[in-house]
Amino acid sequence: MATLFQAPTAFSASNKFHFLSLSERKRQMFVVRSDARMNHLPTTGVHSSLTQRLLTNAVATKADSPTSSKTGHELLLFEALREGLEEEMERDPRVCVMGEDVGHYGGSYKVTKGLAPKFGDLRVLDTPIAENAFTGMGIGAAMTGLRPIVEGMNMGFLLLAFNQISNNCGMLHYTSGGQFKIPIVIRGPGGVGRQLGAEHSQRLESYFQSIPGIQMVACSTPYNAKGLMKAAIRSENPVILFEHVLLYNLKERIPDEEYVLSLEEAEMVRPGEHVTILTYSRMRYHVMQAAKTLVNKGYDPEVIDIRSLKPFDLYTIGNSVKKTHRVLIVEECMRTGGIGASLTAAITENFNDYLDAPIICLSSQDVPTPYAGTLEEWTVVQPAQIVTAVEQLCQ
Amino acid sequence: MALSRIASSSSPSNLLKPVSLVLSLRRRSVCTSTTTEQPLTIETSVPFTAHNCDAPPRAVDTSAEELASFFRDMALMRRMEIAADSLYKAKLIRGFCHLYDGQEAVAVGMEAAVTRRDCVITAYRDHCTFLARGGTLKEVFAELMGRVDGCSKGKGGSMHFYRKEGGFFGGHGIVGAQVPLGCGLAFAQKYCKDENVTFALYGDGAANQGQLFEALNISALWDLPAILVCENNHYGMGTAEWRAAKNPAYYKRGDYAPGLKVDGMDVLAVKQACKFAKEFALKNGPIILEMDTYRYHGHSMSDPGSTYRTRDEISGVRQERDPIERVRKLLLNHEIATEKELKDIEKEVRKEVDEAIAKAKESQMPKSSDLFTNVYVKGFGVEAFGADRKEVRATLP
């Protein structure tokens, strides 16, 4: 495989672009970083021979598809997650999955389908409905060096395990003075689905974001789903991977070669000049839909999928703000205390001088998600609102 | 390290020689005096009560050395906790301080039955358990006073003692949260085919937590080598057990899981029960041990401990069931040591504790940059840079 990515064009001069060529499959792997630094992967028994130059932020738009149309393979997002999971489980025997119905049933969203027959009952574990306990057990196992992946059938159920996630998962490394690492991955689907009701449409990223010691990432495409899954599993820190119920059936062509993305980096979805739109997860698609309308109207929005919810990639975001001077945040969290609220504060604190207009943050309404379809539509940000907001910003 | 490994001196006459000879908490391989491996068989104070299993025998195999080491270790723990009490009142220790005096037999007896590869996890009354797992007095006092030489570098405090090399996993502030963690440790042991077990300790207050039963259910389903040990000191802070639990027979509350009720003030009974439990759990999955014990202090330093129980009760237990007194009587009755020798040990122990406190006081407070260390493990480049990645906002290890 010669080239894998096409370099994004509109980027600040300080970034370098390189083409990466990979030789064999399972030997080589790389971490894509925005400033072309190489990353040493903290693993045992794995080659991390990164002699090639690294490519900065790959652009995952349809137009600049990472691979030429014939290479790579097409799959759905949940299959991409499964591929990442399977590769990591093959690579490292300490990786195990625990959750409700992940084993024999194959996972309620089929992310773990086929893994139980392949790896056995001790590595793909069906748990009873006891989130507090099995999340705690995952953390306890991680303290000894295992690398468990805890699946919440719906992220909202993990509220029952909040104590374990906050106190034990996030803080143990600190309170033990660095003695124990917690290399756990907590993942599951969240977000507003199709009329699932209030309790099954929660956005937990806003509750977890203050917990010190954890990292949070949100995947949005099959490409970044697989890459982030692998990065999360390899990370020595506890990582919470937010998936979205409505994105599991997205199809994309992803490379055959092994790749791992960086957990702290944002993704430049569409470079532009007029306004920076920051988004993540499902709202990315609403934004891209609005972007089509905006382009027709003559605007040039720069769309960034922030991906890393904790910590924010203020480097990429900052470069974008310095270029466009206008920021619109589109998120699915509620207005109060969501990711958008924190991001607004972070940008205002750090880049206030570069802003020509106040930041607009479009979030979901501060209501429990109603069941009725029309009401549910009004709870979440729709493309039309995004268009209006951009027009307002760019006056 | 004060309580480190093995003593090497060989003093013929005096079994217990002051400074040069250290009777370690790793019992058995102590000094080789003329009273060598003098094996003894002693009966526990009361027979064990069993639920869904056969109780182990009352006769415990031990030795003179072991009893002597029990005495010393428990005396050390007792002295350490009393010293912590004074330090707290002198405002050198702040926040919460939960003292273990009265319950020493549980920590010491458990340690005698297991190896360092078995895991132990407990709640916030962890000073003595930490010591039993190989911690040093200096680390204890430094951590309590918030100094860098503490076991958690001053960032954990009284409720967060950990010792990775000793297989001691803490040290947890939230009641009951350590039990699922403990079952996770057992899961990891089973996963790695270790042939070791995990002791997850909790109190009678935590025995009513749902997560305990959740974790027990999973452990029983997956056959994990988890031993849940309820240190029943009969009071959950200010609430007596009969007011908190409809069924205060905690060893039976596991229902399908077997249980054993043990006199937690008798270090030999504790040792026997833990030994039994280890063999049992490796074969049959989880088991609950209820240690009937008592704490002399209140729940913590801010609790006088006398508003919900009478002083007569406390002094009654101290007179009749005190673990150190029991071992002292055994040592005297079996003529392993004289009154004077035991008093000398206590004096020596007191001196050791005082020296450790003095050393701990000399230790530094953490630097301001330590605020940001150990939040994350340096893995995939988690660095706290300023927004432009040019200036470093925090120094990370």
From the list A31, A96, A237, the residue facing B191 with the nearest CB is A96
- For residue A80, give the nearest of A255, A246, A237, A238 by alpha carbon: A255
- For residue A309, give the nearest of A271, A278, A285 by alpha carbon: A278
Asked whether the predicted pLDDT for residue A201 surpasses 90, the reply is yes
Place of tokens 């609430």: B239
Q: Are strands B235-236 and B239-240 parallel, antiparallel or unpaired?
A: antiparallel
Residue A317 CB contacts under 8 Å (≥ 6 apart), including other chains: A266, A276, A278, A304, A306, A343, A347
- Cβ pair B217:A136 closer than 8 A: no
Give the C-alpha separation, A333 to A341, whole Å.
9
Give the C-alpha separation, B312 to A287, whole Å.
73
- Is there a contact between B11 and B33 (Cβ–Cβ < 8 Å)? yes
Q: How many angstroms separate the CA of residue B242 from the nearest CA in chain A?
A: 26
- Cβ pair B177:A125 closer than 8 A: no
Burial of A17 (0-12, 13-18, 19+ CB in 10 A): middle
Q: Which of A41, A96, A144, A186 has the most B C-beta neighbours within 10 Å, making it the best mutation to test the interface with B? A: A144
- Cβ pair B180:A177 closer than 8 A: no
Give the C-alpha separation, B218 to B223, whole Å.
8
Helix (H) or strand (E) holding A188: strand A185-190
- Cβ pair A132:B179 closer than 8 A: no
From the list A130, A144, A174, the residue facing B188 with the nearest CB is A144
Q: Which residues of chain A are within 8 Å of residue B173 when distances are taken between CB atoms?
A: 167
Give the C-alpha separation, B183 to A218, whole Å.
30
From chain B residues 219-248, the ones with a CB under 8 A of any chain A CB are 221-222
From chain A residues 325-364, the ones with a CB under 8 A of any chain B CB are 346, 350-351
Q: Which residues of chain B are within 8 Å of residue A39 when distances are taken between CB atoms?
A: 380-381
Q: Which residues of chain A are within 8 Å of residue B189 when distances are taken between CB atoms?
A: 144
Give the C-alpha separation, A253 to A228, whole Å.
16
Alpha helices in chain A (DSSP H): 77-91, 115-119, 131-143, 162-163, 171-175, 205-208, 222-234, 283-297, 314-324, 339-351, 373-379, 383-393
pLDDT of A69: 56
- Cβ pair A164:B180 closer than 8 A: yes
pLDDT of B377: 85
Q: How many CB pairs under 8 A join A and B?
A: 184
Q: Give me the catalytic one of A87, A173, A200, A302.
A: A200
Place of tokens 């895991």: B119
pLDDT in tens, A120-173: 999 999 999 999 999 999 999 999 999 999 999 999 999 999 999 999 999 999
Per-residue pLDDT in tens (0 to 9) along chain B, 397 residues? 434 343 343 444 444 444 333 444 444 333 334 455 688 999 998 999 999 999 999 999 999 999 999 999 999 999 999 999 999 999 999 999 999 999 999 999 999 999 999 999 999 999 999 999 999 999 999 999 999 999 999 999 999 999 999 999 989 999 999 999 999 999 999 999 989 999 999 999 999 999 999 999 999 999 999 999 999 999 999 899 999 999 999 999 999 999 999 999 999 999 999 999 999 999 999 999 999 999 999 999 989 989 999 999 999 999 999 999 999 999 999 999 999 999 999 999 999 999 999 999 999 999 988 888 888 887 443 455 555 555 555 443 3
From the list B121, B172, B180, the residue facing A132 with the nearest CB is B180
* B216: nearest CA partner in chain A: A133
Q: Which residues of chain A are within 8 Å of residue B375 when distances are taken between CB atoms?
A: 173-174, 212-213
Q: With an 8 Å Cβ cutoff, is B146 touching chain A?
A: no
Q: With an 8 Å Cβ cutoff, is A165 touching chain B?
A: no
Q: Are strands A215-218 and A308-310 parallel, antiparallel or unpaired?
A: antiparallel
Q: Which residues of chain A are within 8 Å of residue B390 when distances are taken between CB atoms?
A: none
- Cβ pair A127:B381 closer than 8 A: no
Q: Which residues of chain A are within 8 Å of residue B164 when distances are taken between CB atoms?
A: 176, 179-180
- Cβ pair A264:B380 closer than 8 A: yes
- Is there a contact between A225 and A216 (Cβ–Cβ < 8 Å)? no
Structure tokens at A90: 């093959």
Q: Residues B130, B131, B137, B139: what is their CA dihedral angle, to the nearest 10 degrees?
A: -30
From chain B residues 250-279, the ones with a CB under 8 A of any chain A CB are none
Q: Which residues of chain A are within 8 Å of residue B153 when distances are taken between CB atoms?
A: 177-178
3-state DSSP of A137-152: HHHHHHHCCCEEEEEC
- Cβ pair A134:B172 closer than 8 A: no
Q: Which of B377, B378, B382, B393 has the most A C-beta neighbours within 10 Å, making it the best mutation to test the interface with A? A: B377
Give residue A189's pLDDT band: very low, low, confident or very high (50, 70, 90): very high
- Cβ pair A174:B170 closer than 8 A: no
Q: How far is CA B256 from the centre of its chain?
A: 27
- Cβ pair B153:A128 closer than 8 A: no
Q: Give me the catalytic one of A131, A257, A264, A267.
A: A131
Q: How far is CA B199 from the centre of its chain?
A: 11
Q: Which residues of chain B are within 8 Å of residue A178 when distances are taken between CB atoms?
A: 153, 373-374, 397
pLDDT of B385: 52
- Cβ pair B183:A136 closer than 8 A: yes
Q: State chain A's mean pLDDT as an integer.
A: 85
- Cβ pair A174:B155 closer than 8 A: yes
From chain A residues 275-334, the ones with a CB under 8 A of any chain B CB are 311, 314-315, 318
From chain B residues 104-123, the ones with a CB under 8 A of any chain A CB are 119, 121
Asked whether the predicted pLDDT for residue A55 surpasses 50, the reply is no
Q: Which of A31, A123, A137 has the most B C-beta neighbours within 10 Å, making it the best mutation to test the interface with B? A: A137
Alpha-carbon dihedral sign for residues A293, A295, A297, A299 = positive
- Cβ pair A167:B177 closer than 8 A: yes
Asked whether the predicted pLDDT for residue A275 surpasses 80, the reply is yes
pLDDT of B393: 53
Q: Is A131 a catalytic residue?
A: yes
- Is there a contact between B169 and B119 (Cβ–Cβ < 8 Å)? yes
Give the C-alpha separation, A333 to A366, whole Å.
9
The ipTM estimated for the assembled molecules is: 0.82
pLDDT of B37: 67
Tell me the whole-structure pTM to 2 decimals: 0.83
- Please give the full DSSP string across A60-108, using - where no structure is assigned: --STT-SS-TTSSEEEEHHHHHHHHHHHHHHH-TTEEEEETT-STT--T
- Is there a contact between A103 and A125 (Cβ–Cβ < 8 Å)? yes
Asked whether the predicted pLDDT for residue A5 surpasses 60, the reply is no
Among A110-124, A271-285, A318-332, B370-384, the least confident range: B370-384
Alpha-carbon dihedral sign for residues B53, B57, B61, B67 = positive
Asked whether the predicted pLDDT for residue A325 surpasses 90, the reply is yes
Q: With an 8 Å Cβ cutoff, is B35 touching chain A?
A: no
Q: With an 8 Å Cβ cutoff, is A120 touching chain B?
A: no
